[in-house]
Structure 1
């Protein structure tokens, strides 16, 4: 039985080649065939995510925003993380990514009127796990298992370090708030579930 991979998590880096942003885009695209095989093709459709207008541009901007936050430590927290698996050669292979934003909700959640009691009534500071994706490309197949859980743990620990009391996402350890349907022009709506975890503020 193969040993589980050893991971490291680092901040995505702005660069002229946009290497990290392109990896994130490729990771999203690699999920499309997988979703189809598990009966969830309607979630993201059949076209590459990177073909959507401004998708890569928004990833590049998120990485730049996170870099600026790390430099200044001012404004609401934002981080874009890359998780990498250590190879036998000692090199590291990117296998997933996560974007975290403090005091923020995605537009598709703000448009859900039945969630107004949460999205417009949330008091205090909170962390929103905006995206979490692992790559389904063939090269990452032996190394991605456990990457999503490792990212979720990292997110929880960082939110606790910041003294935030709540984290929102749809992952391990979260409780259901309410279902929703996200709609995009020209695409069928896809169902989602909004979830929450109470962290307890760190003294």
Structure 2
């Protein structure tokens, strides 16, 4: 059974492997628009970025007893390139899961965990942004997890989509 625990600085290499594996898979299916073709571990700016993420509060690791680290989630404030929230929210800043078959369902599980964190924080909205190019599969994944598309955006030529999910707070 996969467990979720707080991330720590020593998890950086495992999280970089998740990104490297995802990029390698994207290259095989022709989806090079999301993160390019170069592994994160070979790009100093991405290594520094991941090292910063795992050291921040609000970051979580999904760990499988046999497969090791199979997912990463970073929660916090919205990214600077998306429209500001109009209501209190928790923002899914980063979500990535392993391609290992033992990790199936990890992304959904981490999004459910994010929902529980928002509920515990007393905020009524979760938001996330993702790559909106290619086949649109990523946007459809978030929709299948209960998110609704709101604001499309561009970062240079990179197409993105903000999605949100209501968190029903107890009365």
- The TM-score with structure 1 as length reference comes to 0.70
Residue number among 97, 104, 129 corresponding to 2:92 in the alignment: 129
User: Does the 8 Å CA contact 1:29/1:50 hold for their aligned counterparts?
Assistant: yes
How far apart are the structure 2 equivalents of 1:124 and 1:192?
Answer: 21
Label 1:123 to 1:178 Cα distance change in 2 as closer, same or farther (>3 A).
Answer: closer
- Structure 1: gaps (5+ residues): 1-5, 67-78, 110-118, 184-188
Q: For 2:32 and 2:49, how far apart are their aligned partners in 1?
A: 23
Post-superposition shift, 1:50? 3.0
- Does residue 1:152 correspond to 2:127, yes or no? no
Give the alignment's Cα RMSD to 1 decimal: 1.9
Residue 191 (structure 1) aligned with residue 159 (structure 2): yes
**Distance in structure 1 (CA, Å) of the matches to 2:4 and 2:128:** 19
Of the candidates 144, 147, 150, which is equivalent to residue 177 of structure 1?
A: 150
Contact 2:40 2:47 in 1 (8 A): no
Measure the CA separation in 1 of the matches of 2:32 and 2:110.
24
**Residue 60 of structure 1 corresponds to which residue in structure 2?**
51
Q: How far 1:62 moved relative to its partner?
A: 2.8
Query: What is the CA-CA distance between 1:25 and the residue it aligns to?
Result: 1.1
Query: How many pairs align?
Result: 157
Distance 1:99 1:179 in 2: 21
Whether contact under 8 Å (2:15, 2:69) holds in the other structure is no
Which protein shows a greater Rg? 1
Q: 1:106 to 1:52 in 2, by over 3 A?
A: farther
User: Equivalents in 1 of 2:72, 2:62: separation in Å?
Assistant: 6
Is 1:168 the counterpart of 2:124? The answer is no
How far does residue 173 in structure 1 lie from its aligned partner after superposition? 0.8
User: Following TM superposition, by how much is the alpha carbon of 1:7 offset from its aligned partner in structure 2, in angstroms?
Assistant: 1.0
